[in-house]
Structures are given as C-alpha cells and as structure tokens.
Structure 1
C-alpha cells in the first residue's frame, strides 16, 4: 500500500515502502477525518497540498532524517521521534524528505469551512514541524483507542475534540486569544435544547445542530451551554443517553442490544463500555441491583 495522504494532490517518491492503514473514521461528510497508520520505507520525498488543515502526531518509531521546506524556506532539519507534532494549514504546500522511516502516526484532518471558530484561527498559521503538546497527544490517543475498540465517537464529541486540538495548535504558535466571559442560556432556550436532544437521542447529534437550534455561533453556544449545565454539549448528550438507558434497564426487560440502539449507541459493546465508565458498573449489574424485582 502506498503512503499517500488521504486528501490533496502532489507528488510522492518512496523506496522499499511498507505501509499499513490501521484505522480511519470520518464525520460530517468528511469535514473531520481521523487516520491512524504505520509507515516504513528506505527514503521518501513528498510535495503535497491539501484542502484540509492537518495535524500529525508521531506515536511510535521515527526517522534517521527529516527535512521539511515550504515557500523556498527550510522549516526543519532533524529527526522524527515519538511525541512529535506537525501542523500543516489548508492550502499550504510542503516539501518533505524522509530517510530510514519506521513509525506509526495519527492524523487529524479538519475542513477549514467546518464552522468552528477555533478552527478558523488556523487559517493564517504557518506550518509547524515537530512541536510537542501532551494535551493534543492525549486527545488523539484517546480517539485512536476508542476507534480501535470499534466505538465510533459521536459527532458532537469529535467536533469538541477538533476545537480543543485547534486551540492547542494555535497556542503552539503563541497565538493568544482574549478571555471572554459567557453568560447562561435562558431557561426557555435550555428547555428547547433539551427537547431537541430528547427527540433525537437515537441519532448522531452534532454540536453544529445544537448551536443551530439555539440560533448561536458554535463557540458561543458551547461555552454558554457548559456555563449553564456544567457539562460540554457532547458530555450532556452522553449523560442523557445513560439516563434513558437506566430507565429502560429498571422498567423493561429489553435486551441490552435493543437498549443500546434505543439510546443512540453505535453497538452494545459501546453502550456497555460507556455505562461502565460513567456508572462504575455494567448495565447487567445495574439491572440486577435497581430493577423493581430486585
């Protein structure tokens, strides 16, 4: 399998290449894409431009030599190592040379027109090569592990993750944003959001949808929602799914697979893993302890 970025155009030359796609997932019509793969070769040259912002984390292994250039300037000469983080803004052309490649990496692709203000700040940023950020590494690692377990996270969660990663990338370039105080949602607005979530709990609810229901910009809505409820929108949706599941476990004899579907989880295993994480017990144990018969 050739090492070829998922998006964009350009030229690639590689010798003795051995590449393997481990896992890939996308959301919102491929506006956000996660790609985890292993790449090995004797050496490679790359000239590439893509329509999405790209954040790449080297997870394991490395290179004996890495050289990155853009617009006729040398951006980096050194080696790739675990924990190295690279950012390439949408539309930027990068020229890369790599020697003795044997590594695994995770890549997050973000459409600059996604509508998240945090991602908008990335438009005017330069290419950043082999930086380091433990928060971004933890976020991409958790997304990788969740997908590896067969659980595709909800759209709202991934939007939130993309926004957090974008803020951290901006901080790597020392782009400072002023602190802004955000008020609460009105009771009527919060009730409207809750009604929407309740009516669409079986579907993949996105942060963009909730903001549209509120008639607000995504970042303003997300901050006001958390100020009001104490939870990020994606965390609130998950909590509502667990609450509905608790009710079904107590009051019905539905199969766990049916409850998982009824509450909007991608699978019974995803439901069980999320329930255990939030309630410190499995759905079966909960049903045993809290059903009327017990």
Structure 2
C-alpha cells in the first residue's frame, strides 16, 4: 500500500507519503524541512558528494538547502511529511531580498517543526480540516523558526510575545518523551517550563500550533505505531506502553490520528493491506 498527497497552501507546499519498503532510491527536493513519522535503522543519504548512514526515530526532523538529498536502504514502512516554505515567505522572515538557504539537518528533535508537520499530516489524511488562515499562521511561524535556527542568519527582531523559547520547548519535549508511558498532566509540563498551567498551555500552542494534550497524544500515537510495526506486543500491551489504560479509547484515538485501526498495522496484516484492492489511497 502506498499513499501520497501533495498540497499547495498559503506560503508553503507540503508532501505526505506512506509507503512500504521498495528498494527504490527516493529524493527530497531543495529547500525542505520535514519529519519522519517512522522508525528506521541503517538508512543511507547522499547529498553534495557526502554519504551518511544513521538510524531514525519517529518525530526526527530532517532538512536540506539547495542540494537535494537521495535516500536509500529504507527497509521498513516509511511515513513522512516534507514541507517546502515559499521563497517569498523565507525572505520576509529573514528581512532580506535574498532567499536564505536552509541548513542541512539530520535527526534533530524540534517541537515547532514536529507540531506543524503533525497538523499537516492529519490534513493530508483528511482527519482534520485546516483552513487557509490557520495554515498561513503555521507557515509564518515555521518560516520565522527555520530562519532563526536553521538558516545561519539572525532574523529581524520582532516583538514576539506569548511563545516559549527553544530552550523551554526542548525541555518540555524531553519530559514528554521520557514519560510517554506515564500519566501526564499540564501541570507536569508547565513545571518543566516554570510557568503556570494556564500561561504554559497558551504559550505552548502559540509556539507549536498544538495544545499540550494534542502534542502528547500525537507522540503517543507515533510511539504506538512504531511498536505495532516492529514489536510482538499485543494491542493492549502497546496501549499501556503509551500511557493509555483503556484499550477501546486507545483504538479510537489511534484511528483518529493515523487513519488506521491498530490491527491494520500488525506485521501479519501488512500483506493483506498491501494486496487489498480496497486499500485507501490519497490523491494530490
């Protein structure tokens, strides 16, 4: 089964892809920043005459500038979102007449990029409706973030209030990843950011595009997806492993976030899904 969707939004273009391992070399185009939603071992990339082999965790961020990146030796099902910010948007964020080049990234953890990619992924899958105003907000926030952190230049100073800085976002993200199997409250996350729960919740959504509970749930479902594809754990065991004790609620939440039932992704079921003529497909 292969799903691919390409969307043009205000200020950016995004590509979503879910595909089984095919042995075919794939390419990420110029000036993209994206997220892998799949776990991989020993993936190989080549760009600008350089070759790298590395592992990928679900949620890892990758980017490249003007040189495309070629991917090979992908041996597991792959799911990704690539985001191509428009040149005009990047120039505006940089306050420059020249388009800044995005710095090559490999396996970075970044809550802002992950939040944006998670929203776009669900829009590609038809699981949420995202209107042009919200996408425009996401695009501007992402461009400012990319230029400020991954373009090698300092963007013009703007009075950006009500957002968390990168240090606090990374601290909160570390707490979430370390405690995905535990009950988590907004108080726990607010404490990591040294803010009140009310101010933290508002600032976190302003920074990532996701409310704290949406961010935590998204990471839990990605962890569950990885376990379904790579482990022999039962569905109830996986639900408990990602902090959910109600298996029925887990199944509903998983389908709402991924478009699949947990049983659809069990290795023993993959052949049936791939061979089924009724398998869903996305069109660009």
* TM-score (normalised: structure 1): 0.45
State which structure, 1 or 2, has the greater radius of gyration over its C-alpha atoms: 1
Bigger proportion of residues as helix = 2
* TM-score (normalised: structure 2): 0.46
Pick 1 or 2: higher relative contact order, CA cutoff 8 A, min separation 6.
2
